[in-house]
Homo-oligomer: A and B are copies of this chain.
Amino acid sequence: MTDRMETAREIEALLFAAAGPLTDADLAKRLPEGADIAGALGELAERYQGRGVVLAQVAGGWRFQTAEDLAWLMTEERDEPRRLSKAAQETLAIIAYHQPVTRAEIEAVRGVQASRGTLDVLLELGLVRMRGRRRTPGRPVTYGTTDAFLEHYGLASLSDLPGLAEMKAAGLLSMDLPPDFAVPDPNLAQADEDPLEATDAPEFHVDFLAEE
């Protein structure tokens, strides 16, 4: 057996037995020195491609998980997930995309005061954490997401948030009107204007702004 195959076996066993995602560093610490971890991981990913259990990268680490398309089989394993209220979901999204973000900023985006229970629930579930304090007057506490958030939504890192790059490009993640933000001339922007055509609209508009 080649060294790489042996390393793949070892990683397979470790990930299988792990209580949470293992990072490359976690693996390196446990495997014999000089093991080709990246190569072995690639081999494993390929081997499990299309299987009932697949290799996934979440929260900066690796884990095995059941294939998405087999969710229908897992009726017994499914614990009734605590359903987040719409407000909590929206708040979670704002924190995820804008972190570090203060409570006041969350409220500014939503246009309503954060009701009691919204942030609490997210903190309690461990999806959100307090990150620090903004260096502005009043030094408000800032919030961000946790590794548990990434693990729950199966994201390798924060940059894998759906649509993040497009939103950033459109300036939508800044808190204030970006300087290059297109200011529509209300005298021109009448009802007779044409919607953006598919060809000149970046993907972002299709995905995140356009009327469905």
Contact = CB atoms under 8 A, between A and B. Distances in A.
A208 B17 CA distance: 35
Contacts of A13: 52-53, 66-67, 70, 73-74
Interface string A145-164: 00000000011100110100
Given A11-B52, A171-B120, A17 B160 contact: no
Nearest to A157: B133
B12 A52 contact: yes
A168 B160 CA distance: 29
Copies of this chain present: 2
A105 interface: no
A126 interface: no
Interface string A125-158: 0000111110000010100000000000011100
The bracket for how many chain A residues form the interface is 35 or more
A14 interface: yes
Contacts of A67: 9, 13
A169 to B, nearest CB: 6
A170 interface: yes
A51 interface: yes
Nearest to A166: B141
Interface in A60-114: 64, 66-67, 70, 73-77, 103
A132 B120 contact: no
Interface in A148-201: 154-156, 159-160, 162, 166, 169-171
A41 interface: no
A8 interface: yes
B117 A133 contact: no
A10 interface: yes
11 contacts: A9-B51, A9-B67, A10-B70, A12-B52, A13-B73, A14-B73, A17-B66, A31-B73, A103-B169, A119-B171, A123-B170
